[in-house]
């Protein structure tokens, strides 16, 4: 039977049971209630559809063969009303082909008769978990759409929206993730948010900086050691993998990992076991690994500096964080976010950022990415003496960057207006277009209603690689 903490997971999950035989329904109701589910029953398929509309159950458990509307028809109508509904069909052995058809039509699973209470319990648990993940995913998407923010991660530019989408999709899974991006682009922030929105959120997130420790020290940090394994190992000590058991390990700067440690890490990933230095015992561990690199790890693999087999184990899902200069649409949003954040720690905080400051920020190339922008705003907030941050509050390297951009396209020459407003738009458009069509120039040309020659000319003009 179900354990106590399992019972909590079934709370508030509504299951609609449909069967033309009343005694069967009574049996379902008794079992489901004892497992902690809310249970609604009906012997009538049409009534069941009404209940799907009015009560929004999470799961429907239905017999396949019923007079009037049968299980398949009920499945189709119910999924039309609520595509996320998990429908489980119950079927006699003789009708298994119809059950398979039901699964093809979107049923979550089927249970062949006769079945035990345990069998039913397992299928219901799987369906509940499935619903929970779908609901969680929806919640994250709504939050994202409404705030341009994913938790405390800000971004409305297309590349960042795509990153958020990926995070939404993959956080609930348990797959390893590799995050690449220049320094300061937010790799650790994304890693933390994948962890926080995933199944291990209640367990630890353990960051390890692979670049900061010498090889031997890092090895014993990660894998632990037994007493006497090396000079100075006075006691047994578990490593970070053991410490992080059931949680997430964040391996930062993974490209700096020495070859001997790469080999050991690969074993951990393949066998889900660690052996402490100097130890014989293999200890089972269950961890999710999120790694990050500001070097192109694929290039490191090509140059034989990083093991290819390890790369594939780590890179089940990859996220590329674009540098800030490629998402200038986020600069103002981020600047205002940091203004609010740092404003909290000063007595009379500035409440806005003047337009010419924004222009300066937009012209800067941000080699230090979001971290650099964050530092610039933090500094400006503490220097600022009025209610608006002005150019004088910016560091010299940003302040002295040429004359500010004009703001009114009608007051400059057409050539200047093109350079400032049209060309960046055309360049972004083109990059996005090609990306959407996987680099296929013919398809891209068709979608943009221009000819291929124009695309080639623009690619050349903006120095964009054609992807082909």
Ligand X SMILES: Nc1ncnc2c1ncn2[C@@H]1O[C@H](COP(=O)(O)OP(=O)(O)OP(=O)(O)O)[C@@H](O)[C@H]1O
Whether 247 and 287 have beta carbons less than 8 Å apart is answered as yes
Taking residues 334 to 373 in sequence order and writing x for each that binds ligand X by CB under 6 A, - otherwise, the string is x--x--------------------------------xx--
Give the other-Cβ count within 10 Å of 451's Cβ: 12
42 near ligand X, rule: CB under 6 A: no
SS3 225: strand
Nearer to ligand X, 159 or 224 (CB): 159
In the complex with Mg ion, which residue's Cβ is closer, 76 or 188?
A: 188
Q: How many residues bind ligand X (CB under 6 A)?
A: 18
Which among ligand X, Mg ion, none contacts residue 376 (Cβ within 5 to 8 A by kind)?
none
Cα–Cα distances in Å, from 278 out to 217, 224, 245, 258, 263?
14, 9, 20, 19, 17
Q: Give the chain's length.
A: 468
**Should residue 359 be labelled a site residue for Mg ion when binding is judged by CB under 5 A?**
no
Binding status of residue 129 toward Mg ion by CB under 5 A: no
Q: Which option in Mg ion, ligand X, none does residue 197 bind, with CB closer than 5 to 8 A by kind? A: none
The single residue listed with the structure tokens 């200038």 is: 328
- The answer to whether residue 155 forms part of the interface with ligand X (CB under 6 A) is yes
Q: Which of 154, 244, 290, 358 binds ligand X (CB under 6 A)?
A: 154
Indicate which single residue of 38, 188, 326, 378 sits in contact with Mg ion (rule: CB under 5 A). Answer: 188
- What lies within 8 Å, CB to CB, of 339 at 6+ separation is 349, 350, 351, 352, 353, 377, 381, 389
Q: Give the nearer residue to Mg ion in terms of CB position, either 112 or 151.
A: 151
Task: Give the x-and-dash track for 180-219 against ligand X (CB under 6 A).
Answer: -x-xxxxxxx------------------------------
Task: Provide the minimum distance between the beta carbon of 350 and ligand X in the complex, in angstroms, as a whole number.
Answer: 19
Question: 178, 253 in Cβ contact below 8 A?
Answer: no
Tell me the C-alpha distance between 222 and 65, whole Å: 57
Q: Fill in the DSSP letter of residue 389.
A: E
Please report the sign of the dihedral spanned by the C-alpha atoms of residue 300, residue 302, residue 306, residue 311: positive
Judged by beta carbon, residue 152 or residue 432, the one nearer ligand X is 152
Site for ligand X in 370-389 (CB under 6 A): 370-371, 374
Report, in Å, the least distance between residue 329 CB and ligand X. 12
In the bound complex, what is the minimum distance in angstroms from residue 53's beta carbon to Mg ion?
Answer: 49
- Which residue do the tokens 């797959």 mark? 175
When CB distances are held under 5 to 8 angstroms depending on the partner's kind, the choice from Mg ion, ligand X, none that residue 374 binds is ligand X
CB 387 to ligand X: min, Å: 23
Nearer to ligand X, 155 or 247 (CB): 155
* CB nearer ligand X, residue 357 or residue 370: 370
Binders in 241-270 for ligand X, by CB under 6 A: none
The residues, any chain, with a CB within 8 Å of residue 59's CB and separated by 6 or more, are: 13, 14, 15, 16, 85, 86, 87, 88, 108, 124, 127, 128, 131
> Are 32 and 77 a contacting pair, CB within 8 Å?
no
| The Cα angle at residue 51 between residues 49 and 57, in degrees rounded to 5 | 105
Expressed in percent and rounded to 5, the helix, strand and coil fractions of the chain are: 50, 15, 35
Q: Which does 371 bind (CB under 5 to 8 A by kind): ligand X, Mg ion, none?
A: ligand X
For the CB of residue 334, give the shortest distance to ligand X in the complex, in Å: 6
Residue 294 binds to ligand X (criterion: CB under 6 A): yes
- Which positions lie near ligand X, rule CB under 6 A? 152-155, 181, 183-189, 294, 334, 337, 370-371, 374
- Which positions lie near Mg ion, rule CB under 5 A? 188
């Amino acid at each position: 039977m179900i354990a106590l903490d399992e019972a909590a997971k079934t709370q508030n999950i509504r299951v609609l049971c449909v069967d033309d035989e009343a005694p069967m329904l009574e049996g379902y109701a008794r079992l489901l209630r004892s497992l902690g589910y809310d249970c609604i029953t009906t012997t009538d398929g049409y009534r069941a559809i009404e209940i799907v509309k009015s009560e929004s159950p999470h799961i429907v458990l239905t017999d396949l063969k019923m007079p009037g509307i049968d299980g398949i028809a009920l499945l189709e109508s119910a999924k039309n009303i609520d595509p996320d509904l998990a429908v489980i069909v119950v079927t006699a052995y003789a009708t298994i082909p119809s059950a398979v058809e039901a699964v093809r039509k979107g049923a979550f699973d089927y249970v062949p008769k006769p079945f035990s209470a345990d069998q039913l319990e397992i299928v219901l648990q799987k369906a509940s978990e499935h619903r929970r993940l779908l609901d969680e995913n929806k919640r994250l998407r709504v939050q994202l759409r409404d705030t341009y923010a994913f938790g405390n991660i800000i971004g409305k530019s297309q590349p960042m929206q795509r990153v958020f989408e990926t995070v939404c999709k993959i956080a609930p899974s348990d797959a390893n993730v590799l995050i690449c991006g220049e320094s300061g682009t937010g790799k650790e922030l994304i890693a933390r948010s994948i962890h926080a929105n995933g199944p291990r959120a209640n367990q630890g997130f353990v960051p390890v900086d692979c670049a900061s420790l010498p090889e031997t020290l890092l090895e014993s940090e990660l894998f632990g050691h037994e007493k006497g394994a090396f000079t100075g190992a006075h006691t047994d000590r578990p490593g970070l993998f053991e410490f992080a058991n059931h949680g997430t390990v964040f391996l930062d700067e993974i490209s700096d990992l020495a070859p001997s440690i790469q080999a050991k890490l690969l074993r951990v990933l393949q066998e889900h076991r660690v052996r402490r230095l100097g130890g014989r015992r293999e200890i089972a561990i269950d961890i999710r690994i999120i790694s990050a690199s500001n070097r192109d790890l694929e290039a490191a693999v090509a140059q034989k500096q990083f093991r290819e087999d390890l790369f594939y184990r780590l890179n089940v899902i990859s996220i590329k964080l674009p540098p800030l200069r490629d998402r200038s649409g986020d600069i103002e949003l981020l600047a205002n976010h940091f203004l609010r954040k740092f404003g909290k720690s000063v007595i009379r905080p500035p409440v806005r950022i003047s337009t010419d400051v924004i222009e300066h920020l937009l012209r800067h190339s941000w080699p230090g990415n979001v971290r650099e922008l964050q530092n610039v705003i933090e500094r400006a907030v503490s220097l600022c003496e009025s209610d608006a941050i002005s150019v004088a509050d910016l560091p010299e390297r940003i302040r002295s960057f040429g004359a500010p951009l004009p703001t009114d396209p009608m007051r400059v020459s057409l050539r200047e207006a093109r350079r400032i407003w049209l060309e960046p738009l055309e360049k972004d458009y083109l990059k996005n277009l090609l990306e959407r069509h996987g680099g296929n120039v013919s398809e891209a040309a068709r979608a943009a209603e221009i000819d291929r020659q124009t695309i080639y000319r623009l690619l050349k003009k903006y120095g964009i690689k054609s992807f082909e």
